[in-house]
């Protein structure tokens, strides 16, 4: 069996005139946490949506778990999951009802136990019976993470998972994700504008600009290449340099 969870070759997406993703190629190994970085509009979300089969690529190939996406969409999605700070669950359902429905969709074995466990990890147990629409945005974000972990995904895509969290909760969520990653060995792709997230969590980083990868490596490698002290500095250098060369 191949060690590669994702193989992307020459993936491109154009929306009319605008090229959102431009010849993206990368692999992810089992168990790694890959950070996808880049300014707003760099093409991170579009890339994720193509990995999820939500958006059809203009060209290129995606293989996940050794199977082609979207040809094997349902089979692949069964073993992966997704959370975004900009997605919600139906607001007039209770927290546990929403999780129950997704647990049922994914065919989770011991639903009650799994739901309780996840609510516990993300400190939402006391809100289990609350209407989802009443949750604060930070609570909603954590609920999304619960949903995303229901099926013990082998591959987890996170689109700005900590975007609406205060530093304290963001730290807790980061630690919880790190812990879950250690326990399960799942593969994670994480887009985040939070450089602490990236530095602490990600074993490898892809910097994207205008739909292309312009830098790749571990956080330390990237800092060295750019002669910077922090990823934040690298981010700003890249974002302000209109045509960055790949390093």
Ligand X SMILES: Nc1ncnc2c1ncn2[C@@H]1O[C@H](COP(=O)(O)OP(=O)(O)O)[C@@H](O)[C@H]1O
- Of 12, 84, 192, 209, which one interacts with other proteins (CB under 8 A)? 84
CA distance 90 to 181: 28
88 lies in the site for other proteins, by CB under 8 A = yes
Contact 206, 175 (CB under 8 A): no
- 3-state secondary structure (DSSP) of residue 163: coil
Number of continuous H segments (helices) and E segments (strands) in the chain: 9, 10
Q: How far is the CB of 71 from Mg ion (least distance, A)?
A: 26
- Other Cβ atoms less than 10 A from the Cβ of 4: the count is 15
Longest dimension (CA), the chain: 52
CB of 153 to other proteins, least distance (A): 11
Which stretches of the chain are DSSP H helices? 44-51, 73-77, 95-106, 111-121, 137-149, 167-184, 195-201, 219-226, 231-240
**Is residue 123 a contact point for other proteins (CB under 8 A)?**
no
Which residues bind to Mg ion, rule: CB under 5 A? 45
Choose between 20 and 234: whose C-beta lies nearer to other proteins: 20
Residues in the chain: 247
Pick the piece of the chain touching other proteins (CB under 8 A) from 49-57, 117-125, 168-176, 177-185: 49-57
**Stretch 2-21: interaction string toward ligand X, x if CB under 6 A:** -------------x--x-x-
Q: Considering CB under 8 A, how many residues would be counted as binding other proteins?
A: 35
Residue in this structure with the two tokens 């040809």, named with its chain if needed:
71
Please give the residues from 151 up to 180 whose contact with ligand X meets the rule CB under 6 A. none
The contact set with ligand X (CB under 6 A) reads 15, 18, 20, 38, 40-46
The contact set with other proteins (CB under 8 A) reads 13, 15, 20, 45-46, 49, 52-56, 73-75, 77-78, 81-82, 84, 86-93, 97, 101-102, 104-107, 147
């Amino acid at each position: 069996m191949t060690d590669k969870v994702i193989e992307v070759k020459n993936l491109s997406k154009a929306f009319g005139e605008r090229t959102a993703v431009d010849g993206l190629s990368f692999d992810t190994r089992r168990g790694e946490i890959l950070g996808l970085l880049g300014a707003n509009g760099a093409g991170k979300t579009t890339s994720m949506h193509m990995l999820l089969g939500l958006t059809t690529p203009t060209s290129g190939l995606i293989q996940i778990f050794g199977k082609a996406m979207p040809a094997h969409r349902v089979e692949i999605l069964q073993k992966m999951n997704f959370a975004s700070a900009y997605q919600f669950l139906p607001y007039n359902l209770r927290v546990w009802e929403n999780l129950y429905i997704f647990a049922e969709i994914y065919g989770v074995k011991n639903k009650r136990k799994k739901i309780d466990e996840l609510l516990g990890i993300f400190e939402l147990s006391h809100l289990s019976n609350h209407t989802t629409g009443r949750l604060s945005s930070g609570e909603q974000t954590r609920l999304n993470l619960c949903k995303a972990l229901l099926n013990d995904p082998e591959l987890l895509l996170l689109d700005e998972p900590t975007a609406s969290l205060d530093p304290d909760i963001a730290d807790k969520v980061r630690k919880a994700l790190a812990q879950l990653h250690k326990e399960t060995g799942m593969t994670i792709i994480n887009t985040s504008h939070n450089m602490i997230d990236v530095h602490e969590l990600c074993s490898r980083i892809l910097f994207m600009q205008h739909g292309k990868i312009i830098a790749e490596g571990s956080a330390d490698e990237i800092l060295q290449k750019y002669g910077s002290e922090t990823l934040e500095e690298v981010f700003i250098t890249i974002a302000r340099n209109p045509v960055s060369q790949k390093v």
